[in-house]
Structure 1
Amino acid sequence: MTSATDRRRQEVLRAIVADYIASQEPVGSKALLERHQLQVSSATIRNDMAVLESEGFIVQQHASSGRIPTEKGYRQFVDHIHDLKPLSAAERRAILTFLEDGVDLEDVLRRSVTLLAQLTRQAAVIQLPNLKVSRVKHVEVVALGPTRLLLVLITDTGRVDQRNVELEEAIDAEGVILLRDLLNGALVDRTLTEGSTSLEELAENPPARISHALTRSATRLIETLVEQPADRLILAGASNLTLGLPGVIEALEEQVTVLKLLTNVPDLGNVSVLIGEENEDEDLHDASIVATAYGSDGHALGGLGVVGPTFMDYPGTISKVSAVARYVSRVLAGE
C-alpha cells in the first residue's frame, strides 16, 4: 500500500516534471513551494528531492542548481497521468471541419498530420494505410481499344491503382463485362493477399472466350497486389525540432525507424509513449514519441504520432494525438 510519504514524493516529482516542461530550467525547492500547494516545509521538500535523486528520478547538474527530471522520472510521470486536458469545443470543431474538407484519404491524412504538428508544436508523422489490412472494394475494367484494357483497383482504404494491359487478341464489349464480373468475384472484400490467391485459381480455369484477356489481366493484378509499394509516411513540423535534435530529424527523414514504430502502435484508442533510450534507434535517444492508431470499423489502418524532446508536454500531447486519431477515424468511417 502506498504511504502518505510516497504519495507526497510522487506529487513533488510531478511538480518538478511539470515545471521543467514549462520552463526548461532546473527546478529548486523554493520554486516548488511558491508554485504548488504542497503544504510542507522547505526542509521536507529538500529531503524528498534528495530521495527522488537517489532513486534516479531527478538529477542535479550543478551543486548550486535545482533538479531536472531523468528519463526514469518522465516515465514515472507519464505512467501516473490520470487526467488529460480535454480539447475545447472550438478545437474539436476546427479539427473535424478541417479534416472533413479533405478530398480523399491521402489528403485527410496530410491535413491531420499538419494539424497535429500545429497543435503540439512538435514534429508529427502519419503512416499511410497498412496494406496488409486493405480489402479490395472494386475492380473496374475499361476498354481503351480492341486489344488494350485499363484495370482500376480500388481498396477500402482509398488506395487506387491503375494498370494497362496489352492483349494479343481483341476483346468485345460483352467480354469486357464478363471479365469485370469475374475479377470482382475473385477480389471484392478480400485482402490483397487473399485476392492474389483467388486470381491464381481463377486464371487456372478461365472461360474460353476471354481466356487470353483473363490470364493477362490476372497476371497484371497479381503483380500489383504482391509488389505493393512500400508503406509511406507523411511528415509535418520537422522545423519544430531544429534546436538540439539534428539526429532525430535525420531519423525522421530516413523513415524506416519511425515506420517500424508506427507499424507497432497499440490498438485503436490506446496511446503508447516511448521516452529517450526506450527507443531502439540511437538517433531517437534524445526524443520521445507519442503514438496511436487510426482506422475504421474497429480495424487499425496505420499509426500516427508526435516526435519531440523528452521534456515535451506529455498530458497535452497524449490528449491531442488521441483526439486527432479519433477524428481521422470518424472521417474515414464517414461519420
Structure 2
Amino acid sequence: MSDTPKDLAGLRQRIDQLDSDIMRLISERAECARSVAETKTKDDPQAVFYRPEREAQVLRRIMALNDGPLDSEEMARLFREIMSACLALEQPVKVAYLGPEGTFTQQAALKHFGESAISLPMAAIDEVFREVEAGAVNYGVVPVENSTEGVINHTLDSFMDSSMRICGEVVLRIHHHLLVSDNTRRDKVSRIYSHPQSFAQCRKWLDAHYPQAERVPVSSNAEAARLVKTEWHSAAIAGDMAAKLYGLTRVAEKIEDRPDNSTRFLIIGNQDVPMSGDDKTSIVVAMRNEPGALHDLLEPFHRHQIDLTRLETRPSRSGVWNYVFFIDFKGHREESRVAAVLEEVQMRAAELKVLGSFPIGVL
C-alpha cells in the first residue's frame, strides 16, 4: 500500500510526457497540412483542399493499424477531429445541412466533417441543394434513408432536378429520448412534439407509455425541443444534440422501437471524387414502359458480378416515363467493369444519370 502514491505519481508523470509528445506531433501534422495548402495554392489558386477519398483512405489506415485498447471507431473519430482542425488551418469547410440547429442532420454533418467545419442550417432539403449549387457552401448534408421507415423521397426527388454529385455518405445511429423542460409538470404531459419520422420510429413505446397524449408533428426534432421550453404540459422526442442545445431533461432514453435504428445521410458537392479503393456509385435510370424493362436494367450488374446495395423506384416527375430507378452499387465509375455496365445501361435506358461515385462511409 505504501508504494501506491509513488506508483500513481510515476504513471501521472508518464501521462504528462505522453501528452506533451502528442501535442508536439499534432503541431507537426498541422504544419505539414499548412505546407500542403501552400503547395496546392501555388500550383492552382482555385485548389480544393478537402479530398473525400484521401480522408477515407487515412481513416481506414488508422483503423487497420489500431491495436487498442481504444476500439478502432473511437480512434478514427479522434483522428477525424485532428484532420478537421488541420483542414481549418488551410480553409474551413462550409457545410449546409437540413436544420434547424440541433437536428440529427447537423449531428451527421459534424460526425463526417468534424467540429471545426462551419455548419449552416437550411429550412428545407431543396435549400441545401441550392446553397451547394450556388457555391455559397462547399458541401451539403441531407438524409436519404432510415432503417425503420425507408427512403426520404424529397431527397431522391431533389437529385432528379439537380446537377449535384454525391461525394460521400455517413450513417448515424438514431437514439430518441423523451425530453421535458424545467417548467414541465411530468405527471400532466398531454402533448408530445416531434418530427413525423420520429413518431413512426417510436410508435410502440408511445402507445405503451403515453397512449392518450396528443402527438403533434413539427418540421424537426430540434423545433420540437424548442417548443417544449415554452409549455408546461408538453414533451418532445429528440436526440442528444437538441437536448443539450435547449437545456432539456431526459424522462426516458432510447425509446425507439428498434435498437438498430439508424439513418443514412448523403454528402453532396460540385465535383467528382476520385477512387478511394472502397467505393460506391449511385445512379438514377429512366426505363421505357415495356415488358422486361427491369430485367434488362439489372442483367448487366448480375453478369459483371457487381453488388447492388439499394434499389428504389420513384414515379417520373416529367410525365414522359412512368417510373425511374435509383440504384446504389459497390464500385467506382472509373473501374473498367463498372464503366462497362454503365455503358450497357446507357444503351438500354431512356435516360441515365450518374449521381456520383464516393467512398463507402468509414464511420
What is the TM-score normalised by the length of structure 1?
0.25
What is the TM-score normalised by the length of structure 2?
0.24
Q: Which has the larger helix fraction?
A: 1
Q: Which has the larger strand fraction?
A: 2
